Amino acid sequence: MTETTAPLGTGGTIGPEQQAVEQQLVDTVVASFDDTPDPRLKQVLQSLTKHLHNFIREVRLTEAEWNKGIGFLTHAGHITDDKRQEFILLSDVLGASMQTVAVNNETIGDATEATVFGPFFVNDAPEIPIGGDIAGGAAGQPCWVEGTVTDIAGNPVPNARIEVWEADDDGFYDVQYTDGRVAGRAHLYSDQDGNYSFWGLTPTPYPIPHDGPVGQMLVATNRSPVRASHLHFMVTAENLRTLVTHIFVKGDPQIEIGDSVFGVKESLIKTFEQQAAGTPTPDGRDIAEQTWARTRFDIVLAPEGT
C-alpha cells in the first residue's frame, strides 16, 4: 500500500498500515474503560487516553523521550513533600492551573476574577483582627491593605473569611524556611458592613522554586521562573462561590516581561501608593522612620454554584 501523510501533523509520512495499528491501540484502550460505573470517571479517562495517544502519535515520541519523561515525573514525585508540591508548579508553568481556573470560574457580573492557588497555602494560619498585621516579623515594606467584600448585587458580605499569604522581601514564603516560622500569612473576617483591613508587606517579584525538575524545564526552554509581585487571597462566605485570587502591583516590570505561571489579569492589577516616612497611617500605627504603602482591593463574590 502507498504511504500517506500522517494525519496529526508529524511532518513525515506514515503508511496506512501503521496508522491502522496505532489507531487500533487507541480504540482498544478507550474501550477498556467502557464498563466504568462512574460516568464522569469514564468520560475523563477515555478523553485522556485519546489525547495522550494522539500526542504520542503527533510528535512521534521516541522511547528515549518517553523514558526521560517518566524520569522527570519520578523526580517531581521525589522532591514533593508536605511543604513543596512540584506537580502544582508543573501545572502552573504549563498554564494548566490557570486554564482549570478559567473553566471553573465563569465571569459573572462584576465578580472578582480568580487566579492560581499556588503551592504555598497552609491551613490553620493564625487569625488576626481587622487592622491586624500578617507579617509576623517577615522582612519587607509595611503595606496597608483595605477594602470591602460584597456580592454581585452590591450587598455587603459580613463575616467573610479572608485568607491572605505572601512571600517576604527576600522572595520566600515561611514554609520555605526550616525553622518552623509562621509569617506573611493569616486570616481575618469582614465586619458587619463587609469591610476589612490589615497590614502586610508590599509584594515584590520572586522566582518559583527552580532547583528541581520544573526549574530544569524552564532553563531548557529559556523561560524565566520569576513571578510578578503579588499578594494571595482566598475568600469564603456562606452561599457564595469561594474566591481564590491575587492582587498584583501596578508598574511592576515583571508584568510586562511575563508571569511564570500566567496568573496576571488586568482587573487584579492594583495601585500601591507609596507613603513617605512619617506619613500618618490609617490606624495610627507609628512608622516614623520607614516608608510604607497602601492599596485598596474591593472583593465581589459570585453566587455559589455558578
Both 119 and 226 in a single domain?
A: yes
| 104 φ/ψ sector (left φ>0, alpha ψ -120 to 50, else beta) | alpha
Q: Is 240 inside any structural domain?
A: yes
Same domain? For 144 and 249 the reply is yes
Whether residue 52 sits in one domain with residue 110: no
* DSSP designation for 161: E
What is the per-residue pLDDT across 228-274, written as a single tens digit (0 to 9) for each? 999 999 999 999 999 999 999 999 999 999 999 999 999 999 999 99
In this structure, the answer to whether residues 209 and 169 fall within a common structural domain is yes
User: How many domains does the chain divide into?
Assistant: 2
Distances (CA, A) of 30 to 36, 56, 177: 11, 15, 45
Q: What is the pLDDT of residues 184-226, one digit of tens each?
A: 999 999 999 999 999 999 999 999 999 999 999 999 999 999 9
In a domain, 175, yes or no: yes
For residue 267, give the nearest of 145, 109, 157, 118 by alpha carbon.
Answer: 109
Question: Over the stretch 23-45, which tens digit does the pLDDT of each residue have?
Answer: 999 999 999 999 999 999 999 99
The model's pTM is 0.87
- 237 occurs within a structural domain: yes
> Which CATH number covers residue 125?
2.60.130.10
Of the three residues 61, 76, 100, the one that is the final residue of a domain is: 61
> Quick check: 305 pLDDT over 90?
no
Contact 294, 273 (CB under 8 A): yes
Parent domain of 17: 4-61
Q: Are residues 208 and 278 in the same domain?
A: yes
| Domain co-membership, 90 together with 57 | no
